[in-house]
Structure 1
Amino acid sequence: MADFSYSQLSLKEFHDDGYSVRALRLEDILDIKQWRNEQMAVLRQKTVLTDEDQRRYYRQVIAPSFEQEYPGLMLFSYFLEGRLIGYGGLTNLDWDHRRAEISYLVETARSHEKDAGRYEEDFSHFLRLMKRIAFEELALNRLFTETFDIRPLHVSILEKNGFKPEGRLNQHVRLNGSYLDSLVHGCLKEFEHVEG
């Protein structure tokens, strides 16, 4: 399979204590499809994805992003000791304003709050890798997230990793017939150097 990478980055793979990310691989998209379908309740995904949906998305959105000077997103396969455990990256990239939204999803077996320690370790390493790429490699100024207010563990990990609460979007999403709030968190490059 072709080994793609983003031209804006100095390395093909970034490492953090056994964890690593590299540009999203075609061979990983069907695993990701399964995890997305299993975890739709925490995603902005409205319908169950098919294999063809995933292949089309990779062909039409992901593959072209590797060659764009200013891609709108940079997605990565996420590994622990060389084994795929998730994916995510920088979405809604705004190069003029130097900001991006963090996207993150791990395999369903690793996402359950009953194993909070493992989830915290996985997510914390991913956030460190994304901050390194965003602030050191891409010279972005700001990262932000939106989290449904049904994920207290996820929110606490964001805050432990330097993401500050910035606001609550009241009844912002509808899930299973109920309205949920969304929580917005942000992390600025200038504070990362002081606090990080």
Structure 2
Amino acid sequence: MSFPKKYKTLINNTFSEREYSITPIRYEDRFKIMQWRNEQLYHLRQAKPLTEEDQEFYFTNVVTKLFEKEQPDQLLFSYLKNEECIGYGGLVHINWIDKNAEISFIMDTKLEKNEFEMQWGIYLELIEQVAFKELKLHKLFVYAFDLRPHLYQAIEKKCYKKEAALKEHCLFEKQYIDVIIHRKINPWN
């Protein structure tokens, strides 16, 4: 199978900062991504662990179609350090009319303990290049279960402001938890 490498909706497809970059999600990274998602299931909107068959189906039947759309509902990227995939994410739930999107990002589970804030900071710089400069979106937001307060610290350092707390919004381990939403308006508008 020939997997696409460029999104039709983007002029630039790779965005770099020092040795880090984001590039359209690579087929070769699919099983690393599956592993990280399964390891970090507790903070994702994913009901059960993924299988290799699930991941293959998703890449073949969902992800490949995103590359050819003028206005896909999501743009997914492999997050690289010196060309090695250490995370992935993108712009999801893109609203082309209102010009906003949710930010999605997970990193290699091994990096979470010591590099969480640094990796989030670099990733946000890169994904903002896509969203604000390339696509001219008006607003980005992070929707997060209230399980990782260190996430708020990392994104607030990059000028994301707490916009809302949806009280008891999600059922997690038989208990209702809040969802916290942070946002950033395009500073280049």
Q: How many residues align?
A: 188
Structure 1 SS opposite 2:177:
strand
Q: Which residue of 1 aligns with 2:26?
A: 25
Structure 2 SS opposite 1:56:
helix
Q: Which residue of 2 aligns with 1:124?
A: 121
Quick one: distance in 1 between partners of 2:131 and 2:45?
23
Quick one: distance in 2 between partners of 1:111 and 1:172?
25
Quick one: distance in 2 between partners of 1:45 and 1:2?
25
Does the alignment pair 1:150 with 2:147?
yes
Quick one: distance in 1 between partners of 2:46 and 2:31?
16
Following superposition, the deviation at residue 158 of structure 1 comes to 1.0
CA root-mean-square deviation: 1.3
Quick one: distance in 1 between partners of 2:172 and 2:30?
25
Q: 1:169 aligns with which of 146, 157, 166?
A: 166
Q: Which aligned pairs between 1:30-179 and structure 2 lie closer than 5 A?
A: 30-112=31-113, 115=114, 118-179=115-176
Q: Is the 8 A contact 2:104 2:142 kept in 1?
A: yes
Q: Which residue of 1 aligns with 2:177?
A: 180
Q: TM-score, normalised by structure 1?
A: 0.92
Following superposition, the deviation at residue 11 of structure 1 comes to 2.2
Quick one: distance in 2 between partners of 1:161 and 1:60?
35
Following superposition, the deviation at residue 3 of structure 1 comes to 4.7
Q: Is the 8 A contact 2:164 2:181 kept in 1?
A: yes
Q: Which residue of 1 aligns with 2:10?
A: 9
Q: Name stretches of at least 5 consecutive residues in structure 1 with no aligned partner.
A: none
2:62 partner letter: V
Q: Is the 8 A contact 1:23 1:76 kept in 2?
A: yes
Q: Is the 8 A contact 2:78 2:85 kept in 1?
A: yes
Deviation digits for residues 53-109 of structure 1 (CA, Å, limit 9, x no counterpart): 111111121100000010000000001122110000000001111110000000111
Quick one: distance in 2 between partners of 1:31 and 1:134?
25
Structure 2 SS opposite 1:111:
helix
Following superposition, the deviation at residue 146 of structure 1 comes to 0.8
Q: Is the 8 A contact 2:132 2:188 kept in 1?
A: no
Quick one: distance in 1 between partners of 2:112 and 2:43?
11
After TM superposition, the runs of 4+ consecutive aligned structure 1 residues lying more than 6 A away are none
Quick one: distance in 2 between partners of 1:108 and 1:42?
12
Following superposition, the deviation at residue 52 of structure 1 comes to 0.8
Q: TM-score, normalised by structure 2?
A: 0.95
Quick one: distance in 2 between partners of 1:149 and 1:106?
18
1:99 partner letter: N
Q: Is the 8 A contact 1:147 1:155 kept in 2?
A: no
